[in-house]
Structures are given as C-alpha cells and as structure tokens.
Structure 1
Amino acid sequence: MCVGVPAKVVKKMEYSATVDVLGSQTTVGIIFVSEVEIGDYVIVHAGQAMSIVDEDYARESVEEWRKLVDARNSETI
C-alpha cells in the first residue's frame, strides 16, 4: 500500500520545492508536477510530489492524519 501525505508548497525551485507537512518543512522533488506553484497543495510520497490537489481535499486529509498522530501519541502515554 502506498501512502501519500498532503503538503503545502511554500517555496519552488527548478526541480524541487519546500513543502509544509503538518507544520514541518521538507524539500521534495517536483518532476511529476512541474506546473505546481507556491500555495498549491500536493500529495507527497517517497520524497516526490506526485499530484496537485485542491485545498479542501488537503485540509480533510490533514485532519485525518492528525487523528492518526494523536491516537498514536495517546497510546505511548
């Protein structure tokens, strides 16, 4: 199973972009979505932005990821 994480593009270079994922920033490749712009949301998998998604989808997906993280954190307490 492949899992993609939604991220917001905060900086764009020629072949990579800095994205914000749940409050953390990382650099990802953008060769599959070269048309991406700052402020767009992308699905990131294995260090690559795989597709551009709309903000509503990204927001809903982030909410589900936060639930998973919160559930995991509550197990370790």
Structure 2
Amino acid sequence: MSPKEFNKVSSEHSGASKGMKYKTIKPHHEVLGDLEEGVVLELDSIAHYPTKYRLKDKEGRLWTIPTHSVERIEE
C-alpha cells in the first residue's frame, strides 16, 4: 500500500470507508459550532497527518474530528 499524501483526502483508511456511521464519544468543538457526545455522523472522507475523519451530520455540515473522538456504529 502506498503512503497517503498529506495534502489529499481519501475515502478509505485502516478499515474505515466512506458511508460508514460513527458516533461521537465526547464533545467536539469547532469554530462554526459544537457537537455533543452521542451524535451520529456519516464518514465523508479521511484527512491525513494526523489522521482525522471528515464526518457529515444530518444537516449536511462537515466536521473534522480526531479518530479517538468517535466510535464506529455497526450496522
């Protein structure tokens, strides 16, 4: 497997792929808003170095969240 480029996003990484569902396991703050613990989100893409998930909420907003702040929901 070739290394991921730091300035690109990908649709899969280490078993995670676009469309998977995740739930926040702790509150998350960004400039444009806050997410509480327990919010269900859908994986849109993955940023690298450091690895963070770009997740979409039910309103269609994108959040960039560290991988340790969410857990995968089995469907």
Task: State the TM-score bracket (shorter-chain normalisation).
Answer: 0.3 to 0.5
Q: TM-score, normalised by structure 1?
A: 0.38
Q: Which has the larger radius of gyration?
A: 1
Which has the larger strand fraction?
2
Higher relative contact order (CA 8 A, sep 6+): 2
Which has the larger helix fraction?
1
Q: TM-score, normalised by structure 2?
A: 0.39
